[in-house]
Structure 1
């Protein structure tokens, strides 16, 4: 009760600041038309008003939107003030429940933030750390590059389905085949998409060109079966022929963007693993069978230091993978995951599932059990979500306890392990 509460509604050039007590009584309010990094004067003003009201210090609260809250947190730390954040979803829900009008002004929002802080409906933000901060930014960069990678694949697929669908039939998984991609690059690059000219040069010359392109891309040797099937597709006239020249020109550009995205992605992932090594967590994280260093780094880039979470379940809730039950009286609804956490953390955990199910016997057995049991059988997607939650829980244990992953503990629990040892 010794701290006054300062609620701040952050904006671009307009910052609304209110000082309240723990009963949400407004002691002072003022609008500062400054940028976020000039809010030091606002905090000093609020400290003066709090001192006049008999408070020893202040607790500063805001919504963590954009980048401005980071600046405000640093300014508060420099002045020895406590700093907390209020979830925008919580404030939006409370705003609606107050008078059912969704009335919203900067003044009211600042008072609402201060009231939620007084009610302890807030949280301590992740502390600023140079190494963890770098990992988070690298994780965001990796996600952008993955999106660019997928976007390029979809563009090439859509264009080929329009102007040259036969090319997509040359390989079972064309975009996973280094030979197919290299052969397509030869067709649209060397001959400018002139299929008739490429066909006149003959299959032997085409094979030599593809072999050189595969080598240039870091491969060993091409799959001649795919090369010959693509060469045969050169004489297929299915597709919108009038659009072929322009579409092939565009495909060449997209392939160049795709190559750049793949190279940048590899570089970013190498940097992430280097940061994981710097934190001393690579060996611990990869002790979980099937979890790669890149996969662990992607998860930790979204969670930050796992020691700041009070429990493993808190990490699962943070990802939005915690189950949500619906029961009332004799009614029992279908359980679903909340989906209310960090979507990028949920995506990172979801991607980690695929590798773990291939090589981790514990997770593979759990997946089989969940999808084949007689009572309350789960769908494959539900079982994968359960495994993703298990990966997060056990990664939290491994890192916070500095103990390598043990398949016996993972399958039966710590207590069963202690009983067996006794």
Structure 2
């Protein structure tokens, strides 16, 4: 057993009320034990609401008086994002919160009754006993810039995921109606999007001149100088296209919608990234990361959103872990 484990065990004394909570979306279960793991009170539910949290706090105060405890520690098995509201509430009340490993909960439960079945009230007791043995870790509750960076980065990832989904739909559409398109445009730049906006089908280019198409594409947002060689090649491949010619009315509506959504997502991602970079630049850690060659702004934002302030780490190995 290492010294860190010893320090955790030493936090639980005879004067400590140990509480285990099984977290759920609407109703949590609470178990209370002493330093030896003996259950002190009947397990009770706690609602995920302000009233439920206040009742839980009152229950803690009552139990501390009843069993003559001067300290309290609450342990949870993190479930999704449902524990975050409780974590902030307990922080406001000055009650320490720790986390146990879900795998430890599963294995400890099977040791007790040899049943792998899921039961919230039973899990709460297992969690409490793991905490009194020092088998827990400390969660990092985010504040101010750290909280903004984490929320913004998570949202940015969801936008990127949505953009990639739209991109895949556009590729699938082209596979059906204009397979030769990718021979000219392997990626979706401004000109490729302009083509899909104005002339998405091979038949749209029939009897069209290069100059006429260039003029149409210039009407697209952000495109001033369309590349003439690419347009020439696109006209050539469109003549022998094997694209589907049926159902084009709805297909035209579909690709127009996809192009609009793709552009919108690109703009939203760019604007959000700019805002996140501005937030990151207010931290001293950003200045330090700038000294590392090859790190771009987006990468530094993601790093800071995950690791937070360097001041909370005592050893480089903590960052690696």
TM range (shorter): 0.7 to 0.9
Q: How does 1:357-368 map to 2 (within 5 A)?
A: none
- 2:134 aligned partner: 120
Pair 196,68 (structure 1): closer, same or farther in 2 beyond 3 Å? closer
1:229 matched to 2:241? The reply is no
CA distance in 2: counterparts of 1:73 and 1:196, whole angstroms: 60
Q: Secondary structure at the match of 1:4?
A: strand
Q: Are the counterparts in 1 of residues 76 and 98 from structure 2 also a CA contact under 8 Å?
A: yes
- 1:32 aligned partner: 45
Q: Count matched residues.
A: 307
Q: How does 1:176-191 map to 2 (within 5 A)?
A: 177-188=189-200
Q: Name which structure has the greater RCO, CA cutoff 8 Å, separation 6+.
A: 2
The correspondence for 1:207, drawn from 209, 214, 228, is 214
Bigger CA drift: 85-94 or 295-304?
A: 85-94
The normalised TM-score by structure 1 is 0.68
The correspondence for 2:267, drawn from 263, 266, 270, is 263
1:274 matched to 2:274? The reply is no
Q: Secondary structure at the match of 2:138?
A: coil
- 2:258 aligned partner: 254
The normalised TM-score by structure 2 is 0.87
CA distance in 2: counterparts of 1:296 and 1:271, whole angstroms: 13
CA distance in 1: counterparts of 2:111 and 2:49, whole angstroms: 30
Deviations 1:123-177 (A, max 9, x none): 1111331211011000001101111121121111111112210111113x232x3
Q: How does 1:7-406 map to 2 (within 5 A)?
A: 7-32=20-45, 34-37=47-50, 38-171=52-185, 173-175=186-188, 177-188=189-200, 193=201, 195-213=202-220, 216-217=221-222, 219-317=223-321
CA distance in 2: counterparts of 1:97 and 1:308, whole angstroms: 36
CA distance in 2: counterparts of 1:97 and 1:244, whole angstroms: 63
- 1:337 aligned partner: none
- 1:329 aligned partner: none
CA distance in 2: counterparts of 1:201 and 1:156, whole angstroms: 24
CA distance in 1: counterparts of 2:16 and 2:89, whole angstroms: 17
CA distance in 1: counterparts of 2:204 and 2:86, whole angstroms: 63
Structure 1: gaps spanning 5 or more residues: 318-422
